[in-house]
Structure 1
Amino acid sequence: MKNRSLLTLLIAPVLAACTVAGNAADDDGRIEVVVGYQSKTINTVTAGTLLRSLGYFEKNLGDEYRVVWQDYESGAPITAEMLAGKIDIGSMGDYPLLINGSRAQAQGGDARTELVSITGYNLRGALNGVVVAEDSDAGTLADLKGGTVSASVGSAGHGTLVQALGRIGLDPAEDVKIENQQPSVGASSLQSGGAAALAQFVAWPGQLVQAGQARLLYDGGALDVPTFHGVVVRKGFADVEGDVLQAFLKAQIEATTYLHEHPLDAAESVAKETGLAPETVYLYNGANGIATFDVTVKPELRAAFEQDVPFLKSIGVLEQPLDVAAFFDDSHLREAYGPSYDADTGKKANGAALPGDPLKAGEVWLDGETATHPVADPAALLRFVREAGEKGQKVRAAYVPDARTGTRWYADHSVWLRDGDALLPFATRENAAAYREDHAGTQEVSYEAAVKAA
C-alpha cells in the first residue's frame, strides 16, 4: 500500500508473522484485517453484510491483505474485542458507539477508538421500536407498567425504551422490569410469554411483525430523536494502516452507491446472507426505507450523540466520561469521499427515494416480480392492491408511511383510519389514537375494508 509507514516497511521482513496493528498474518504471509459487524443489524450492511458480499473491500486492498469478517448479534462484543486489539474496524449503533468510545478513551493509548463514518440513520428514531405479541391487550407503553420488557441493555433499542417511558412519567427502573437479553433470546421470550414486550433495534421489530409473531406497540419515530449506526476504528490501527482504512471507507461508499442504485437486489442479497425475510430487509433498506444510507457525518447526528452522553450517564450505562470531539474524526472519510463532502453532508434526502412526497409515497411488491411499483399516496396504494387482487396477482409486500410520524411500515400491519373521504395508515394504535384526538368523527377500519373502499 502506498502510505505504509517507513517503520512498517523496515520491520515487515523481520516480523512477517504480525502487523504493527498486532494482527497475525495467515499462512501465505498476507496481513489480516479483522472487521466486526452485525449481519442482522441491517442498518450497517454497507459496512458489513452487503459490503462483504460485494467484495469491494478486498478488491480495494489487493493481495497483500486478507479480510476476516466476524459476525455478532450486538455491538457490545465488538467493543470488547476492539479493546483487546482483536478487531480493527467495527460497526454498531449510536448508544454502543458511545460506550465503545468511552471505554476506549478510559483504556487510553492505541486502544482509543474513533468514529469515522455513518452507515445509516433515521432523524426521528424510527429504526428502533417496541413490539408485543399480536394478541396483547397493550395499546401504549403505559400498559407495560408492572410487566417485563426484554432489551439489550446499552443498545439503541434500550435507549429508545428508556426515553419513551420517561416521557410518559414511568421510571424504567421501578415501573417495568427490563430483562437484559440478546435480540434472538428476547424474541423467544416474547413468543413464550416470558416478556410482555421486546424493545429492539433494526431489524427485529419489522422481522417479528412481518412474520406475524408480533405487533408494533411503539414507533421509535414518535420519539423524534435521531438514531444512527456508524463505523468505528482503533486509533492505533488507523494511525499505522491509514491506507487500509481508506480502502475500507471507499468500499463503504461504493456499497452505499450500489444500495441506492439497486435497492431490491441489495435487499435480496442481505436476506440471503442473514436468513431475514427479504420483505423485512426492504422495509428498512429499500426505496424510501426507514434507514437512510449516507456515510457523511451530519451535524444533526453529532448533536444527538452529544445529547445522549448525559442521558446514558443518568441511567448508569455510561460509566466512563467521553470526549465526543476527540471521538468523532471524519478526516479519513473526507479524504476518501472527495470535494463534495461538505455539500453532501447537508443533504437529508434518501438516496434510494421513491418519486413524489416521501411522507405519502408508498410501494407495492408483487409476487414473482423483480421490480416494485411506486404509488403516490395511501389511496393509490390501496387501489393498486385491490386491482392486483382482481387480476389474481398476489401482493408480496406493500409499504406505506405512517400519517403521523412518516415511519414506513407494512400496509397490512398498519392501523387504518377513515377521516372523511381519506383513508390514513398508522404504524401503531398509539399513533392512530393521537390522530383521532385532533380529528373528531374519525373511524377505524380494517385493512381489508380499506382496500375495498379505496
Structure 2
Amino acid sequence: MRTKALAPAALALLLAPLATACSGSAGAAGSSTVTVTVGYQSKTINTVTAGTLLRSLGYFEEELAARGQKEGVTYKVDWQDYATGAPITAQMTAGKIDIGSMGDFPLLINAMRGKELKQPTHLVSVTGYNLRGGLNTVVTAPDSKLESLADLRGKKVSTSVGSAADGTLVRALQRAGIDPSGGIEKLNQQPSVGASALQAGSVDALSQFVAWPGQLAYEGRAKALYDGAELNLPTFHGVTVREKFAKERPGVLDDFLRAQRKATDHLRTEPVAAAESVAKETGLPAEVVYLYNGANGIATFDPALRPELIDALKQDVPVLKDAKLVGDVDVDAFVDPEPLARVAAGSAQYPAAVAARPELWLKGEARTRSFDSPRELLKAARGADVRAAYVPDAVTGTLWFADRAVWVAEGPELRAFVTPAGAKAYVAAHQGSGARVVSFAEAGALAS
C-alpha cells in the first residue's frame, strides 16, 4: 500500500523534535545548532586570552558566526567558569567540555586522565607564561614572624594539590632541605578556602597561583614569603582540547585559536583597558590584574608553544609522579602544534619576554608611565595621585607593588625585593657597599 505524502507543514512538525535532539551537541555533524563548551578559570587571570577577556570581547562568537553563515549552522558557546583546572579535566574526560585552559601541572594530569579514560586531549596553545616561575608565590599573614621558606618547617601550609602552585611549593621546600611530604603539614584547599584559612590564622602560609598572592598582598591581607621566580623554572598556562572534538570540528578549533590571538593582540596593545575589563568581569581589583597582565606584568602573553615551556612541562612530570598524581606522561604526544601553526601561518611572532621596568599608574589616566629605575618611579610618585606603583624584584625581576615590596638602599641606588629573604640575602652579599633594608617611606624620602 502506498503511503500518503505528508504536507510540508506536517513534515516540519515531524522533524522538529529530531532537530531539537541534535542541537547542543558539538560532535553531531549536520546539527542545526552546535554548542561549543569552553572551560575556563576567571580568577586565574593569566588565562584571560582563552577565557575571561576572550569571552568579554566576543571574538570567538564572531568567528563562529562567520563560520555558521557559510555552513548554515548556528554556533553557540557555553562558557563554564571553574576555580581550578581539576574540574575542567573531569568534564573534558566525560566529554562535556571541548576546550579548556589550565596551568602546567594540571595540564599533565589532563593528559594522563584523558589517555586513561580514552578521551585523549592535546595542548594546542599557551596563554600566559613566566620564564622564571614568578606566577606562583608563597605568602604569609601580614603580622607573621616567618621570614624565609626555612621557617615553614613543621608549619601548616595551604595549597591546591596538583596545581602549579603546589609544584612550586614542593620544589622550593626541597631546595630548602625540607621534606615536602613530612616536613610541613600540607592542607589541600581551594584557593579561596586557603585565603580564608590564612586570614583566620588556621594555616601559617599559603602557596597559590596568579592572582591570589597579588590580591592578598594588595588588600593588606598577606605578605610574600617566597617568590616562585627564585626557582628559575618556567611556568605557564595553556589551552587543551579533546582529540575527538579537534578531529570532528578542526575549523572550530582554528576559530578559537584565531580568536585567542586577537585577544592576545588586544591585551598587549591595550593593557590598561584589558585589565579594567577583566576586573569588571571577575571582581578583582584592576590594579591586581595589571600586576600580572600589564605591559610589564609578571605574565607574558603569547600563544606559541615555546620549546622552553615544553621542556619545563617535561621537568614537571617527575614532581607529579613523586606525589603519585600521574604515571608516565608522553609530553611530546600530548603537545599538538599543528592547529596553532595553521592559524598563525604568515603572522608576525610576538616578541619574547623582556625585563620588567618600574611602572606608575596615576588615577584618571588610561596609560601607565614606565621608568628606568625604582628611584625615578618613587620620585615621580611623590605627591602624585597614585593608583598603583609597580617595581621589579632586583634579582628575580618579578613585578610587585612598590608599597608592598621590601626596599634596600645602597649608596644612591634603591632596590626593591618581593620578599624579606630576598632583600636580606642581597644585603648580606653586599656588606661592603653599605646596603641596608629601609622602609617604603624611607625609600620614598631618599628618592626625592
Tell me, yes or no, if the aligned pair for 2:427 and 2:437 is still in contact at 8 Å.
no
Tell me, yes or no, if the aligned pair for 1:165 and 1:172 is still in contact at 8 Å.
yes
1:43 aligns with 2:46: yes
Aligned to 1:31: 34
RMSD (CA atoms):
1.7
Q: CA deviation at 1:92?
A: 0.2
AA matched with 1:93: G
Aligned to 2:378: 382
Q: Could you tell me how far apart the structure 2 residues matched to 1:214 and 1:82 are?
A: 35
Q: Could you tell me how far apart the structure 2 residues matched to 1:183 and 1:13 are?
A: 42
Aligned to 1:205: 213
Q: Could you tell me how far apart the structure 2 residues matched to 1:325 and 1:13 are?
A: 40
Aligned to 2:266: 258
Q: Could you tell me how far apart the structure 2 residues matched to 1:196 and 1:380 are?
A: 36
Q: Could you tell me how far apart the structure 1 residues matched to 2:112 and 2:386 are?
A: 47
AA matched with 1:86: K
Q: Secondary structure at 1:406's aligned position in 2?
A: coil
Tell me, yes or no, if the aligned pair for 1:209 and 1:215 is still in contact at 8 Å.
yes
Q: 1:24 to 1:289 in 2, by over 3 A?
A: farther
1:449 aligns with 2:442: yes
Aligned to 2:7: none
Q: Secondary structure at 1:365's aligned position in 2?
A: strand
Q: Could you tell me how far apart the structure 2 residues matched to 1:89 and 1:18 are?
A: 15
> Could you list the per-position Cα deviations for residues 271-302 of structure 1 after superposition, in whole angstroms to 9, with x for gaps in the alignment?
00000010000000001100000000000001
Tell me, yes or no, if the aligned pair for 1:124 and 1:222 is still in contact at 8 Å.
yes
> Please, which of 69, 78, 82 is the counterpart of residue 92 of structure 2?
82
Q: CA deviation at 1:375?
A: 1.3
Q: Could you tell me how far apart the structure 2 residues matched to 1:364 and 1:190 are?
A: 30
AA matched with 1:321: D
Q: 1:381 to 1:31 in 2, by over 3 A?
A: same
Aligned residues: 421
Matches within 5 A, 1:180-329: 180-318=188-326, 320-329=327-336
Aligned to 1:337: 344
Q: Secondary structure at 1:413's aligned position in 2?
A: coil
Q: Secondary structure at 2:395's aligned position in 1?
A: coil
> Could you list the per-position Cα deviations for residues 160-209 of structure 1 after superposition, in whole angstroms to 9, with x for gaps in the alignment?
00000000110011111110000000000000001101100000000000
Q: Could you tell me how far apart the structure 1 residues matched to 2:240 and 2:218 are?
A: 31
Aligned to 2:15: none
> Please, which of 146, 153, 159 is the counterpart of residue 151 of structure 1?
159
Aligned to 1:6: none
> Please, which of 401, 405, 408 is the counterpart of residue 417 of structure 1?
408
Q: Could you tell me how far apart the structure 2 residues matched to 1:326 and 1:398 are?
A: 43
Runs (5+) with no aligned partner, structure 1: 1-11, 351-357
Q: Could you tell me how far apart the structure 1 residues matched to 2:148 and 2:140 are?
A: 10
Q: Secondary structure at 2:329's aligned position in 1?
A: coil
Q: Could you tell me how far apart the structure 2 residues matched to 1:310 and 1:214 are?
A: 31
Q: CA deviation at 1:453?
A: 1.0
Aligned to 1:436: 427
Q: Secondary structure at 1:218's aligned position in 2?
A: strand
> Could you list the per-position Cα deviations for residues 135-170 of structure 1 after superposition, in whole angstroms to 9, with x for gaps in the alignment?
000001111111110100000001000000000110
Tell me, yes or no, if the aligned pair for 2:26 and 2:36 is still in contact at 8 Å.
no
Q: Could you tell me how far apart the structure 1 residues matched to 2:257 and 2:223 are?
A: 37
Q: Could you tell me how far apart the structure 1 residues matched to 2:347 and 2:62 are?
A: 24
> Could you list the per-position Cα deviations for residues 65-99 of structure 1 after superposition, in whole angstroms to 9, with x for gaps in the alignment?
00000000000000000000000000000000000
Q: 1:72 to 1:23 in 2, by over 3 A?
A: farther
Aligned to 1:367: 363
Tell me, yes or no, if the aligned pair for 1:50 and 1:270 is still in contact at 8 Å.
yes
Tell me, yes or no, if the aligned pair for 1:39 and 1:45 is still in contact at 8 Å.
yes
Q: CA deviation at 1:334?
A: 0.3
AA matched with 1:326: A
Q: Could you tell me how far apart the structure 1 residues matched to 2:75 and 2:217 are?
A: 41
Q: CA deviation at 1:340?
A: 4.5
Q: Structure 1 vs Structure 2: percent identity of aligned residues?
A: 55
Q: Secondary structure at 2:22's aligned position in 1?
A: coil
Aligned to 2:27: 21
Tell me, yes or no, if the aligned pair for 1:23 and 1:86 is still in contact at 8 Å.
no
Aligned to 1:91: 101
Aligned to 1:112: 120
Matches within 5 A, 1:127-142: 127-142=135-150
> Could you list the per-position Cα deviations for residues 399-425 of structure 1 after superposition, in whole angstroms to 9, with x for gaps in the alignment?
010001111111111111111221111
Q: Could you tell me how far apart the structure 2 residues matched to 1:22 and 1:188 are?
A: 44
Shifted more, 433-442 versus 293-302: the winner is: 433-442
AA matched with 2:372: A
Q: Could you tell me how far apart the structure 1 residues matched to 2:406 and 2:182 are?
A: 31
Q: CA deviation at 1:377?
A: 1.0
Q: 1:20 to 1:424 in 2, by over 3 A?
A: closer
Q: Secondary structure at 1:329's aligned position in 2?
A: coil
Aligned to 1:4: none
Tell me, yes or no, if the aligned pair for 1:141 and 1:165 is still in contact at 8 Å.
yes
Tell me, yes or no, if the aligned pair for 1:40 and 1:203 is still in contact at 8 Å.
yes
> Could you list the per-position Cα deviations for residues 341-362 of structure 1 after superposition, in whole angstroms to 9, with x for gaps in the alignment?
7xx38x4235xxxxxxx35x21
Q: Could you tell me how far apart the structure 2 residues matched to 1:19 and 1:408 are?
A: 44
Runs (5+) with no aligned partner, structure 2: 1-17, 69-73
Q: Could you tell me how far apart the structure 2 residues matched to 1:186 and 1:18 are?
A: 37
